[in-house]
Each structure stands twice: as structure tokens, then as C-alpha cells.
Amino acid sequence: MYRRICLDASLGELRVQQLQTGLTTLFGFNVLVTFDNVHYKTSGASAPVPTSTQERLVGLTCEECGKWCKSKAGLVAHHRVHDSDSVGTNMVAQLACADCSRLFPTKIGLSQHRRHAHPTQHNADKLSRVKHSGARWSQQESQSLLRLANNLYPSCETQTALFARLEQYCPGRSAISIKTRLRVLNWQAQQDESSSGGPDQTIGQIAAYSSEADDYSVWFKQTVDCAVSLLESHADSSLASVDLLAFARGLQSGIMTPEQVLSLLDLHASRTFPHTWKTVSRRRRQLAHRMPVNRKQIRRANYAAIQTLYHQRRKDAASAVLDGSWKDLYKGNCGLPPDAEQYWKQVLSAPKHVDSRPSRVIVPSDWSLIEPITGEEVGRTAWRLTYSLVLGQVHRNTLKRLDNYIRQSIRGWLRLPKDTPISYIHAGKQHGGLGIPSLSATIPMQRRVRMEKLLSSQCRVLRNVVNDSAFGKVVRDLSLPIRVHGSCVNTKEELVAAWGDSLHNSVDGRGLRELVASPLSNRWLVFPERVFSRIFIRGIQLRCNLLRTRVRSARHGHGGQTILCRGNCGQPESLVHILQFCWITHDARCARHNRVARELAKRLRRLGYTVFEELRAPTSTSFIKPDLIAVRERRATVIDVSIVSDGRGVTVWNEKKQKYGADEFSLAIISALRAIGCDVDFLVHQPMIISYRGICFPQSAKAVIGLGLSKVTVSDLCLLAIVGSLRTYDTFMRGT
């Protein structure tokens, strides 16, 4: 209470003093100056409390510029401005450019200046600083170096002198490289004790060591003498031995150095052995673009061009239709715009000028290049999501909404239509689906498994928690049935089987039942690293009959739309009809068949088989011509490739076995092989049957593996059939 009264009294006195002196300072500052123990520091010295307006103004005024500050902190901050200005004005540039004598305060500024203003000199300096790695040391050179080092070390006072002397005996090697090599070889100086004698003994030892150290010189002299004698005794005009003899004699007499002789030998070799042949690049023959000549061909070409443009760039296709330029699409690319070639010639032939603009300051940034998302990161993130959903309290409706979001994203990424079966997304890969887990089914099942382990625990604390009445609601929620398309599932195996049955019972996934017995046909989907992204996406669409056809478009109930084939076949335009029966795709289907047969023949030849393609074997009435006949060790295997529809694998297998298994045809094939000089004692018939979806018949896969081919080969053949089916589909869409 006493302090409050004193403070009020002080405030009253301040108000009176302010009215008398006319002071216009802040109220807070006036409160501060009423205390007796307050001091202000100006330029590092303490000052007494100001008693008048002039004294207070002088106490907070800058001595350098005369600026008045309201507080001590403001004055200190103001002094920092003068400190930075003094540093900037007193800094002396000590780095000068060697080309233009311009001064720079830092090395970075000088380097950036030379990089932009003098690029030629800058690059030359950088190249001169590059350390070129020398040649490798051979074992013989290493042994010679060790011997020379041991012999010359007693005659050298220091190791530096030793390395300099060794450099004379090792041309092309520097003292640093010799030092590094001796260190790698673990060389240690071994000096003889007798070398510590008198001067006469040291001189004698030096002479002895010098004579031993001249091994390289002796060998070099003997080599040159041998070359001179050989060139004198064996003269050959085709090799211009006269010039070679002159080089050798000059080296022998010491007139020329080894480096000069080496350059003369290079010139002699280029003149004596010139390049008389020229490389000719084999250019592929470019097919000439046939220009349509009549209205029918023009109409078809325009239709094909607008279809292709629509699939690639829809906006450009719409613009072409609206502005009327679609009528000239059959002409293709009309070439460059007028005067485009002349314009680019002027641009590219213009003289080059050095950029005189000042270098831009490089601002550091925190961002980095976006790295691709790997499969491990996706798996780790999915595991974390599952872990949080199992332990958290998430409602079933929330899980269903999450499943809906996941399916929408997958349809967008893989470009699947909206009517894609849900079972195709959630079914396992072994059943032909994509293997995306359904959260509304897997999360409750994992919670139930976790709760069963908790209920069966023998821990007393856990038993007390389980027996609590509040725990009953959790048990009731976990006891609710888990349904997949109307069927209840209780285990993980039942869940996988339920999604697979749902897919196989649908119209689009009915042909995927054969995939369960042929897991090798699904290898490209499990390991997509060896597949192009476009083929991978379109292969997924083909696998479930999701490609656009008239039959599939009619499911949405568009009134008045016909479902008959655009090729006037009189049959419904389904995907099976396009890929297996339509007359428009006949050539494309033959190319698909031949591509698979050729790939199989190439793989068999790598294993050492003698493969005959479409060998004619005459019979009593006609002839037979199987696709492939593989012969090895007097055993022949007849392989007939077939690309079939869904469910026709067993039928075609039996037909092929019955056809080529007849005695007449078997004897005809053996006779045809013997006629061309191939002895065969045993004949086997193994058809190679693959569906248009890329599913290999199980017996065919076993037969191919029995021939010695790998499982990857079976997967590659299935993928090749898928690529052929996609090309067949594209041929139909472009031709109609």
C-alpha cells in the first residue's frame, strides 16, 4: 500500500513537471526517469540521469549522425547500422581478374565473373587443373622399380632425391607416382652398414650401384641394336623399312629422342597403312506414304486420322472438327511453315557474343528433385494404414467410403471404365484380379483375429479387462458377420475365395477361371518391371474385357444403338468377336500367331534344338504343315501354336493331339525329317495353346518347361499374346 501511494505521488509530480517544461515525450519514458538508479549508456559510457529536456535528448542521440532515439534498445540497434556501413566501406577488394583486372571481394564472385565474362579462359584453366591418371604398373615394372630403389637408395641423401633420380630411369612416370607406387609395394629403405665408411668407399659403392642401376639403359640399347640389325638384313618396300631404319639409327646415335621417334612412327603408320574402306550406314527403307486418289479412300483416311487424333489429343480433335480442317487430315503433315527454314538458318548462323550481363546471385533453395515412388514405400505406407485402422476406432461405413475412394483412384490411374467389376479390383492376382485389399472386409477380420488372441490369453490383467462389462460392446461389434457380395466369410482363405468366385461368376471375368491352374501366365502382373507402362495398363484392360466395343457400350441402355459388328459380319461386336473371328482382323491375328511361334523357336534354338518352321510333310491325300518341329538327340517334338477363345483350351488340345497323333501323320513327319537328313527315332506332339487374354493352357506350360525352357519364357509368350491381341484390337478400330 505504501509503494502504491509513493508511485501515485511520483506520477503526480511528473505530470506537474511536464506541464511546466512543455515536455512531449512518452508517458512510459517519464516513468523511467523518475527513479534515481537508472543510467543510460551512450557509445559504451554510462551517463547520469538527465534532469532537463536538453540533457535527455543528448543522452539518447547518436554521436555519428545526430539521430535521437526513444529508448536504449533503439539506440543500440541504430549503432549496428553504422557498424555494417563501416564494414562495407572499409572492405578492400583483394582478388583481381587476370583477364580484365576487375576487383572482387570474394573468390566466388571472381569465379562467377570469369565463368560468364571469360568462358574460354575459365574452361582452359579448369582443364589444366584436371589430374590425368597415368598408366598402370605391370608386375615386371614394379619389380624393376623395387630393385632400382634398393640399389640407388644408399647413394641418395634423402628420399626426395631418390624419387627424382628414379624419375630419370622411368620415362613417363613422375616422382609423385613413383613415390605412391613404392608406398603401395610396402618398400622400406634398407641401407648397408658398410656404407658408413670413408669417402673412397662411398664413391666406389656409388659407381657400383650406378652400374647396376643402368639395367634399363642396357636393355634399351640392346633393343635398338637388334631393331637396326633386323631392318638392315630384312628390307621390305611394302613396310617402308628404309624410313624405319633411319628412325632406328637416329635413336641409336642419340640424334633423336624416344618421343620424336614415337611421333615419326605414328606418321609413318598412317601413311603406310591408310584406311581404304569406308563405313556405310544401312538406312532402313522408308515406305512411301500413299496419297488417297478417290473419294472413298479419302473418306477412310480422314476417318482413321480423326480417330487417332481423338485417342491421342481430344482437344485437337474437337478443334479439327469445329473449324473444318478434318477434311484435309488425310494429307498428313504439310511441312514447315513458310520461311521457317530461312529463319532458322539466320538464327543458327548468327555470330556468337559473350554475355556481358552481370552474373545472377545464386539463391540457395531447400527443394530437391521429386524421386519416384517405389514399391517398398507403397507397401510400407499400406502397412502403416492397416496398422492404424486395426488399432483405431473406425466405423464400418468409414471403411466402405475408403474403399470407394481407393477404387476411384485405381480406375483413374489404370484408365478403367466406370463399370469395371468391383471383384476385379479386390480379387487376388492368382484368380486374375488386381489384388487390392478391401478395407471393409480385411480390417474387421484382422480385428477379430486380434481379439481372439486377446480372449485366449492367460494373463490375469487381460482377463480382467475382457470380463469387464464395457468390453462387451467391442465384442458385439466384432461378432457382426463379414459379407462379400452376399456371402459370409470368417477366415482369410474364405475372403480370397469369395472375391475370386465373384469375379469368375461375372460376365467379364468368366474367362479368368483357367488362370487358377496356370500361375505362370500372371507373372507379368506380379512383376511388372519388365513391361512397358502402356502395355501394362492396356493388358489389365484386356484381361477383364474392359476395352470399348458396341456390346459393352450397349450395357448402359443407350436406345437405338446397334450392337452388330462394324465390319458387316452380322455378329455382335464383342471383344471375342474382334480378336478371334472378324474378317477385318484376319491378318493381325495371323501376325499374332506367327510372332508367338517365332519367339518360341528362337528360345528353343538357344537350348541347342534344331527347329524347323512350317515343314511340309506330304501324306497320301494332301500334306500337313505343323508350326514348329524341334529336334534334339534323335527326338522330335511337334509344336502347333494356337491362340484360342475362353474355355476352348481342352477342346483344342484334344483336337491337336488327335490330329498329329495319327499314325499316318506321324510317319509323314518322320519321313519328311529323314528326307532332309535328320534322323529321328521318337516323335512327341505337344500343342502350345494360349488364350487371347494371355492365359497359357496348363498342359502346354508343363510341356514347354519339359523341353528345358524356363518359367520366364512361358510368361514372355503369354505377354506376347497379349501384345498381339492389343494390336489386333487397334487394327479393328483404325480400319472401321
Q: DSSP letters along 524-592, please?
A: HHH-GGGS-HHHHHHHHHHHTT-S--HHHHGGG--TT---B-TTS-SSB--HHHHHHT-GGGHHHHHHH
CB 588 within 8 Å of CB 728: yes
Q: For the residues 196-202, what does the mean pLDDT come to?
A: 38
Per-residue DSSP letter, 681: S
Q: Does the pLDDT of residue 307 top 80, yes or no? A: yes
The C-alpha cell that represents 74 in the structure block: 533503439
Would you state the pLDDT for residue 452?
83
Burial-class residue 301 by CB neighbours within 10 Å (0-12, 13-18, 19+): middle
Closest among 325, 350, 332 to 291, alpha carbons compared: 332
* pLDDT band at residue 276 using 50, 70 and 90 as cut-offs: low
**What confidence tier does 612 reach under pLDDT thresholds 50, 70, 90?**
very high
Helix H or strand E segment including 698: helix 698-706
Task: Provide φ and ψ at 251, rounded to 5°.
Answer: -70, -35
Least reliable range by pLDDT among 110-114, 541-545, 556-560: 556-560
Q: pLDDT band for position 346 (50/70/90)?
A: confident
Mean pLDDT on 445-449: 89
Please tell me the pTM assigned to this model. 0.50
Asked whether the beta carbons of 507 and 574 are under 8 A apart, the reply is no
Sign of CA dihedral 126, 129, 135, 139: negative
- Angle formed at CA 581 by CA 577 and CA 586, multiple of 5 degrees: 125
Alpha-carbon 81 to chain mean position:
52
Mean pLDDT of 134-140: 73
Task: Please choose, from the candidates 158, 155, 171, the residue with its C-alpha nearest in 3D space to the C-alpha of residue 210.
Answer: 155
Residue 333 has pLDDT above 70, yes or no: no
Q: What is the mean pLDDT of residues 519-525?
A: 89
| DSSP assignments along 446-502, one per residue | HHHHHHHHHHT---HHHHHHHTSGGGHHHHHHHTSPEEETTEEE-SHHHHHHHHHHH
Length of the chain: 736
Q: To which residue does cell 571481394 refer?
A: 105
Cα–Cα nearest to 110, from 88, 94, 125 = 94
Taking the CB of residue 722, how many other CB atoms lie within 10 A of it? 26
The DSSP code sequence of 365-405 is ----PPPPPPHHHHHHHHHHHHHHHHHS---HHHHHHHHHH
**Listed range (334-338, 355-359, 362-366, 383-387) with the worst mean pLDDT:** 362-366
Residue with the bigger pLDDT between 627 and 461: it is 627
The SS3 call for residue 176 is: helix
> Smallest Cα–Cα separation from 583: which of 733, 732, 730?
732
What percentage of the chain has pLDDT greater than the value 70? 80
pLDDT at 290: 65
Residue 366: band (very low, low, confident or very high) from pLDDT cuts 50, 70, 90: low
**What is the DSSP pairing of strand 628-632 with strand 635-639?**
antiparallel
How far lies 672's CA from each of 620, 624, 668, 703, in Å?
A: 13, 11, 6, 24
User: Quick check: 630 and 620 in contact, CB under 8 A?
Assistant: no
Is residue 694 a contact partner of residue 715, using CB atoms and an 8 Å limit? no
Other C-beta atoms lying within 10 Å of the C-beta of residue 268 = 16
User: Residue 289 phi/psi, 5° resolution?
Assistant: -75, 120
Map residue 63 onto helix, strand or coil. Answer: coil
How far is Cα 177 from Cα 134, in angstroms, rounded to an integer?
A: 8
Q: Which residues contact 64 (CB under 8 A, 6 or more apart)?
A: 82
User: Would you place residue 717 in the very low, low, confident or very high pLDDT band (cuts 50, 70, 90)?
Assistant: very high
Q: With pLDDT > 90 as the criterion, what percentage of the chain qualifies?
A: 24
Q: Supply the angle between the helices 396-414 and 533-543 in degrees, to the nearest 10.
A: 120
Q: Which of 194-198, 263-267, 461-465, 680-684 has the lowest mean pLDDT?
A: 194-198
Q: What is the mean pLDDT of residues 426-433?
A: 91
Is pLDDT at 477 greater than 60 in this prediction? yes
- Give the model's pLDDT for residue 322: 86
CB distance 592 to 725 below 8 Å: yes
The dihedral formed by the CA atoms of 466, 467, 473 and 478, expressed in degrees to the nearest 10:
40
User: 17-26, 254-263, 292-301, 604-613: which has the highest mean pLDDT?
Assistant: 604-613
* Confidence grade of residue 536 (pLDDT, cut at 50, 70, 90): very high
pLDDT at site 4: 43
Q: What's residue 700's pLDDT?
A: 92
CA dist 718 to 131, 272, 540, 651, 689, Å?
54, 58, 13, 19, 10
Side-chain-side CA neighbours of residue 556 (13 Å): 11
Lowest pLDDT segment from 376-390, 406-420, 532-546 = 376-390
